[in-house]
C-alpha cells in the first residue's frame, strides 16, 4: 500500500468533491448508450467550477473512469480535472484497467496514488480497491481488509470516511444487484469494533443513495454520464441528468453533503438499450 497523504493538516473541516463513473473512451466522440461521456463529464466540471465556492480540498474519483479498456481515457480524465486545482485521489472500478490505470495517472503530479488520507485535524479517508479483474461484481481481498483494520486501529482518534467503488446495499434492481460487493459480511466484521466510522461512499450503481448499513451512513452518487433507474429488475436507464456529490467533513464528525445535477438535461440516453 502507498504512503499516507497529509491533506491540510491544520484545517478543522474538509470540502470534498466526488466524481464517479465517467466511462470515458479513447475516442472523444464515442457515446455510451447515446451519451457522449466526455462531453457530459466536461459539462459537470464546468458547472462545478462555476459555483460560488468552487474550490475543494480534494477530489475523490470513485471508479469506472474509462469504458473501453483503452488507457487514453485516463489521459483525458487527468487533463479535464486539472482546472479544479485540487489533489485528485482515485480508486478502481470494474471497468478500469490495472496496472495501466496506476501507470497512466502517476504521470500527473496533482493525481495522487495514496489510499490513506489524513484530512485536516479530525478526519481520515480510506480508499479501498473492490475490483475483481474481468468481473463486474466487487470483492475486498484479505489484504485489503487487513490494511483497513490496521489503518482504523492506527487512528481511532480520527473520524473516518471510507470509499470504494461497489455498492453494499441492494438497489432493488435484479440485473444490478448481482454485481454488488460480494463479501459485505467480511467488511462488516472488520468495521464492527470501530466507532469512528461516519460514512461509506461509493459509485457503481449510477444512482443516489443516502442510507444506513450496520449503523454506518452509506452514500452513493450519480454518474457523470448515464443513470440507472431504481427499482427495475431489468436493465433500465433513467432520464435524470448527470451529477456529482459535494461533502463537508465537520470537526464534530458530522458530514454535510448534497448531490447536484446539471441544471439542464441535454444528455438523453437511448431508453431502448437493454444493457451495455
Give the count of beta carbons closer than 10 Å to the beta carbon of residue 265: 12
Ranges assigned E (strand) in 33-128: 35-36, 58-61, 88-90, 111-112, 116-119, 123-127
Residue 274 lies in a domain: no
Q: Which residue has the cell 461533502?
A: 247
Q: Is residue 113 part of a domain?
A: yes
Kindly report the CATH number assigned to the domain that includes residue 99: 3.60.21.10
Q: Is this prediction's pTM over 0.75?
A: yes
What is the C-alpha to C-alpha distance for residues 155 and 190, in angstroms, rounded to an integer? 15
Is residue 17 assigned to a domain?
A: yes
166 assigned to a ligand binding site? no
CA–CA separation, 173 and 194 (whole Å): 31
102 labeled binding residue: no
Q: Is the residue at 272 inside a domain? A: no
Q: What is residue 1's predicted lDDT score, i.e. its pLDDT? A: 47
Is 155 part of any known ligand binding site? no
Is 144 within a domain?
yes
* Containing structural domain, residue 23: 4-261
* Residue 157 falls inside a structural domain: yes
Output the pLDDT for position 2. Answer: 60
Total structural domains in the chain? 1
Q: Is the dihedral of CA 126, 201, 164, 148 positive or negative?
A: positive
**Where on the phi/psi map is residue 34: left (φ > 0), alpha (ψ -120 to 50), or beta?**
left
| Euclidean distance between CA atoms 23 and 14, whole angstroms | 27
Q: Note whether residue 132 is domain-resident.
A: yes
- Alpha-carbon distance 183 to 73, whole Å? 30
> Distance (Å, rounded) from C-alpha 171 to C-alpha 152?
28
Question: Is 122 flagged in the annotation as binding?
Answer: no
Position 72 in a domain = yes
Instruction: Walk along the chain (276 residues) in steps of 10 and give the mean pLDDT of each run.
Output: 86 98 97 97 98 92 96 97 98 95 97 98 98 94 98 98 97 93 98 98 98 98 97 94 98 98 93 83
d(CA 238, CA 42): 20
249 DSSP β-pair partners = 14, 255
Amino acid at each position: 500500500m502507498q504512503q499516507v497523504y497529509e491533506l491540510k493538516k491544520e484545517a478543522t473541516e474538509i470540502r470534498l468533491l466526488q466524481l464517479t463513473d465517467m466511462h470515458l473512451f479513447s475516442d472523444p466522440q464515442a457515446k455510451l448508450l447515446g451519451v457522449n461521456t466526455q462531453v457530459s463529464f466536461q459539462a459537470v466540471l464546468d458547472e462545478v467550477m462555476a459555483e460560488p465556492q468552487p474550490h475543494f480540498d480534494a477530489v475523490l474519483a470513485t471508479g469506472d473512469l474509462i469504458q473501453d479498456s483503452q488507457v487514453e481515457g485516463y489521459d483525458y480524465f487527468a487533463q479535464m480535472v486539472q482546472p479544479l486545482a485540487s489533489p485528485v485521489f482515485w480508486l478502481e472500478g470494474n471497468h478500469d484497467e490495472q496496472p495501466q490505470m496506476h501507470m497512466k495517472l502517476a504521470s500527473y503530479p496533482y493525481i495522487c496514488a495514496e489510499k490513506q488520507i489524513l484530512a485536516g485535524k479530525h478526519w481520515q479517508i480510506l480508499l479501498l480497491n473492490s475490483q475483481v479483474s474481468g468481473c463486474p461484481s466487487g470483492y475486498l481481498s484479505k489484504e485489503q481488509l487487513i490494511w483497513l483494520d490496521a489503518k482504523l486501529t492506527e487512528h481511532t482518534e480520527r473520524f473516518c470516511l471510507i470509499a470504494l467503488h461497489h455498492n453494499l446495499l441492494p438497489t432493488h434492481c435484479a440485473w444490478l444487484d448481482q454485481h454488488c460487493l460480494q463479501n459485505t459480511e467480511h467488511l462488516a466484521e472488520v468495521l464492527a469494533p470501530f466507532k469512528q466510522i461516519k460514512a461509506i461512499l461509493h459509485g457503481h450503481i449510477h444512482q443516489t443513495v443516502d442510507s444506513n448499513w450496520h449503523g454506518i451512513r452509506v452514500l452513493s452518487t450519480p454518474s457523470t454520464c448515464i443513470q440507472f433507474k431504481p427499482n427495475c429488475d431489468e436493465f433500465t436507464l433513467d432520464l435524470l441528468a448527470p451529477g456529482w456529490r459535494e461533502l463537508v467533513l465537520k470537526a464534530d464528525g458530522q458530514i454535510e453533503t448534497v448531490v447536484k445535477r446539471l441544471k439542464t438535461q441535454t444528455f438523453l440516453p437511448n431508453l431502448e438499450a437493454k444493457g451495455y
